[in-house]
Amino acid sequence: MSVLVYIESEEGKFKKASYEVASYAKAIAEKMGTSVTAIAFNAGEVSELGKYGVDKVLKVNNDKLNNFNAEAYSDAIKQAAEKEGSKVVVLSQSANSKYLAPLLAVQLEAGYASNVVALPESTDPFTVKRTAFTNKAFNFTKISTDVKVIGLSKNAFGLKESQADAAAEDFSPSLSDEDFSVNVESVDKATDKVTIADAEVVVSGGRGLKGPENWTMIEEMADILGAATACSKPVSDMGWRPHSEHVGQTGKPVASNLYIAVGISGAIQHLAGINAAKTKVVINNDPEAPFFKAADYGVVGDAFEVVPKLNEKLKEFKEKNA
Amino acid sequence: MKILVCISHVPDTTSKINFTEGDTKFDTNGVQFVINPNDEFGLTRAMWFKEKQGASVDVVNVGGAETEPTLRKALAIGADSAIRVNTPATDGYQVAKELAKVVQDGGYDLVIAGRESIDYNGGMVPGMLAQLIKANFVNNCISLEVDGDNAKAIREIDGGKETLTASLPLVIGGQKGLVEESDLRIPNMRGIMQARKKPLNVVESADTNTKTEAVKFEKPAPKGDVKLVDPENLDELIDLLHNEAKAI
C-alpha cells in the first residue's frame, strides 16, 4: 500500500529533485495513512532519503541499467509498485521521468497526471492541480483509476524534512531483452556545467546583446551565481548560442528559483516557457518591453553598463555571504 | 515506409486563455487554432522522408469536425491523406488508445507525434501509444534517420544529448531540432488547392474509456507590478533578491 517514489540519481548521487519528490510522496503517504517506499537504480548510499520521509529503499543494482532506459526502468518500477501494492507512484518531471511515466502508466493501467504543482486536493476522489496552457492556467484533474501516477513539477512543493529509516533492500526485477530494444549508442553530456533542468538560477540573454561575442558577461554572471546559461529563441536560431540553451515554448522549460533575463523583450512564447520560474528579473533598455509585465524586478538600462556593474556587486555579495 | 504523424489542434500561442461553464470548459470563442508546434516539426521531418526516401505520410487527429481545417493545413503542407477519429479528445490515455487502433489498422512503421501539445502539455500520448502497440519509443527526439528497418535517433537529455538506435515500428515524441524553424513550410496556393482533393477519412471511435478527467480550470492570481530598480542603485536589486525574494 506504500506510496512508491522513483528516485533519480546521477553517478550514484541523488538530485535535489529526488528529495523534492520524496518529500511530496511522504506528504501523500501521511494523507493516506501509509509509508513511503523509494526505488533507486545503481545508487550508492541511500540513508539520506530518510531525512525526507522515505521508510524503505528498493535498490536495483544492475550494470545493464547504467544508462537510463525508459522501457527497462519503467518495467522495474512497475514490478516494484506491484510488489509494494502501491496505489500512488510519484516521479519528477525531468526529461527521463517524463519519458518513462506514460509507459509506466499503461503498464500499471494507471491514470497519469503530469505537471502537478500541489498536494492532492482530495485523495477520494483523487484530484490534483496541474499547470496547463503552458503555465497560463491550472487544471484540476480527477484520476479515476485504482493506481495513480503523479509527475511533480520542479520547485512546486519544495523540500520537507522528516525522520524515517530509509532501510535499504535489494530488489532484482526480472527484465527481458525486449526491455532493451532501444539501445543507447552514446551519451554526450557536459559534466562541468549546471544544466537548465537542475539549476537554481538561470541567466539568459537575448537579441539585445547584439552578438555572440558579448556573452562573456552573461557567463560571468552565471559563474558568480552558480547558474545555468540560457537564451531566447532568436539567439539560438541565429546560431549565437547552441539550441540546447533555447528556453521557451518550443525550447526547454525553466522552473528555477531565479531567472535573470538580459536583453530579452519577452515574446509570449518566451514567457510561456519561463513562467514557472519563481522570481524573474529583467534588464532591458526598452521600458515598453513586454517582459516588464511578467517580471518581479526590473532594471531599465543598457545591459552593457548594468550587467558588468551588477556582476561586481554580486561578486562582493557572494564573497560576504560565502 | 508508412508514416503516421499525429496532429494536435491547439490554440495559437497568442490566444487569450479563458474558461466557460463555471470554469469547466476551455472557451474557444475567438481563438485561432493551429497545428501544435511540436507536431509541425515532426510533420516537416516526415515530408523529408517522403521526398528523399519515398515514404507515405498520413496525418491523424482525434477530435470533432472543428479540427478538420487543421488537418487540411497538414495536407496542404504535403501529407498524402488524413484521418480524423470522430470523438472529442478527453484524456491522454483515451487519445493514445484511439491512435493505437489507427496505427494497427493502417500498419504504420513510424509514428511521429510531438513531445507535448501546447494546450494541456500532458506529454503522455506518444509514450502511451508506443506502450499500447508494443513499439519502440524515443521521446524528446531532435534528430531521426531511418535506414530500412533501423532507426537512429538523438534525444535531448538534461544537459546534453543521447544517440539511440531502435528497430521499427517506432513512435517518437518530437520537438524542434527534428527540423529547424527555418525548414517549416507555409502552404502555398498549389498545396492548398491539392489539399481540398486529398482524402480526409472520418473513422468512428474505438469506444475507449478515460482514466482521468479535467474537472475544473483556474487562472493564476494576477501578478503584482514589477519593482523597478534604478540602474545606478543595483545594491537595492541585490538586497531585494536576497531579503525579499530569497532568491540569492
At A87-121, the pLDDT tens digits run: 999 999 999 999 999 999 999 999 999 999 999 99
| Average pLDDT of span B160-181 | 96
Our CA-based measurement puts residue A165 at a distance from the nearest CA of chain B, in whole angstroms, of 31
User: Which of B31, B131, B156, B239 to mutate: most A Cβ within 10 Å?
Assistant: B131
Q: Identify the bridge partners of residue A64 per DSSP, sorted by sequence position.
A: none
Structurally, chain B folds into a number of domains equal to 1
Domain holding B96, by residue range, is 2-217
Q: Identify the bridge partners of residue A170 per DSSP, sorted by sequence position.
A: A59
User: Which of B139, B161, B210 to mutate: most A Cβ within 10 Å?
Assistant: B139
Give A184-230 pLDDT, tens digit per residue. Answer: 999 998 877 889 999 999 999 999 999 999 999 999 999 999 999 99
Cα–Cα separations (whole angstroms), residue A192 to A189, A226, A228, B204 = 9, 11, 11, 53
Give the closest of B156, B176, B177 to A95, CB-based. Answer: B156
Region class of A53: left (phi > 0), else alpha (psi between -120 and 50), else beta: left
Distance CA B227, CA B237 (A): 9
Domains of chain A, with CATH numbers? Answer: 3-180 (3.40.50.620), 201-320 (3.40.50.1220)
Distance CA A237, CA B181 (A): 8
Structural domain includes residue B239:
no
Report strand pairing: B56-62 vs B2-6.
parallel
Contact between residue B3 and residue B102 where contact means Cβ atoms under 8 Å apart = no
Structural domain includes residue B17:
yes
Residue A143 in marked binding region: no
Angle, helices A303-320 vs A216-225, to 10°: value is 20
- Please give the model's pTM, rounded to 2 decimal places: 0.95
Cα–Cα separations (whole angstroms), residue A228 to A69, A206, A221, A257, A275 = 26, 15, 10, 12, 17
Residue A303 in marked binding region: no
Structural domain includes residue B93:
yes
Whether A105 and B128 lie within 8 Å, measured CB to CB: yes
pLDDT at B135: 98
Structural domain includes residue B232:
no
Our CA-based measurement puts residue A87 at a distance from the nearest CA of chain B, in whole angstroms, of 14
Structural domain includes residue B238:
no
Residue A248 in marked binding region: no
All three cell numbers of A118: 500541489
Report strand pairing: B110-114 vs B2-6.
parallel
* ipTM value: 0.96
Tens-level pLDDT at each residue, chain A (322 residues): 899 999 999 888 898 899 999 999 999 999 999 999 999 999 989 999 999 999 999 999 999 999 999 999 999 999 999 999 999 999 999 999 999 999 999 999 999 999 999 999 999 999 999 999 988 999 999 999 999 999 999 999 999 999 999 999 999 999 999 999 999 999 998 877 889 999 999 999 999 999 999 999 999 999 999 999 999 999 999 999 999 999 998 899 999 999 999 999 999 999 999 999 999 999 999 999 999 999 999 999 999 999 999 999 999 999 998 7
Structural domain includes residue B223:
no
Contact between residue A5 and residue A36 where contact means Cβ atoms under 8 Å apart = yes
Cα–Cα separations (whole angstroms), residue A30 to A141, A152, A184, A244, A280 = 21, 17, 39, 39, 34
Structural domain includes residue B231:
no
CATH code, domain carrying B34:
3.40.50.620
Give the closest of B14, B128, B136 to A181, CB-based. Answer: B136
Residue A207 in marked binding region: yes
Angle, helices A95-107 vs A70-84, to 10°: value is 50
Q: What residues contact A172, with CB distance under 8 A and at least 6 apart?
A: A60, A62
Our CA-based measurement puts residue B185 at a distance from the nearest CA of chain A, in whole angstroms, of 16
pLDDT at B17: 93
Our CA-based measurement puts residue A235 at a distance from the nearest CA of chain B, in whole angstroms, of 12
Whether B176 and A246 lie within 8 Å, measured CB to CB: yes
Whether B120 and A140 lie within 8 Å, measured CB to CB: no
User: Which of A78, A144, A182 to mutate: most B Cβ within 10 Å?
Assistant: A182
